[in-house]
Amino acid sequence: MRILRADGRVAVPWSNGGGVTREIAAHPPGAGWDTFAWRVSLADVTRDGPYSPLPGIRRILTVIDGGGLELTVDGTPRLLPDRFRPFAFPGGAATDSRLLDGPVVNLNVMVREGWARAEVEMVRGRRAVPPGDVLVVALEGATHVSAPGEPGVRLARCDAALIAGAAGAGACTQTCTEILTEGVAAVITLAGGGGEGDD
């Protein structure tokens, strides 16, 4: 289990000046835009504007802070007024974003089609971590992660834990990797491309 603290992330400005992005994790580690299999980041969005086209990328966007936004994907508007509701769409689609009530913070999950797959679940309370490579991101309140044979760890808001090859509930008897959140945590299950723990 690798702990990824929010304090260590670097804010990278968007080319269009509409916000900044902070990478949480990517595979392979250090991969650029043309070479990642998957990438997870937090984006501060401060104004309306188009998204950069990313052909061959599947995106899953979740508003985690702010008054929501409206995405128009290939001409079809989609309101995202509530926090913690993941929305998947093709990165190559013509996409425009309109803020509903001021700036927002988005959790962005991107996977390269044919290289990797991802599922994003919002979790409240206690649950066993699904099998495989899993990224847990604390979104509201503290989240505690415990894995067999390792001391438990507390994640503050926006901290993350990358768990390589989690056993999952179906493969364990009495002990398995678990999370207990005081608010909301994102559990991102990643398949293909490997996890950072494989290095």
pLDDT tens, residue by residue, 35-68: 899 999 999 999 999 988 899 999 999 999 999 9
Q: Which domain holds residue 186?
A: 117-198
Evaluate whether 170 touches 106 at the Cβ level (below 8 Å).
no
Predicted pLDDT at 172: 53
Residue 102 and residue 60 share a domain? yes
Quick one: 107 and 125 in the same domain? no
My answer on whether 84 and 124 are in the same domain is no
Per-state percent for the chain, helix, strand, coil, to nearest 5? 5, 55, 40
Report the pLDDT averaged over residues 173-185. 83
**What phi, psi does 189 have (nearest 5°)?**
-95, 125
Tell me: do 92 and 161 sit in the same domain: no
Domain limit, last residue, from 56, 83, 112: 112
- pTM, 2 dp: 0.89
Contact criterion met (CB below 8 Å) for 47 and 96: no
Instruction: Answer yes or no: are the C-beta atoms of 56 and 112 closer than 8 Å.
Output: yes
Domain of residue 42, CATH code: 2.60.120.10
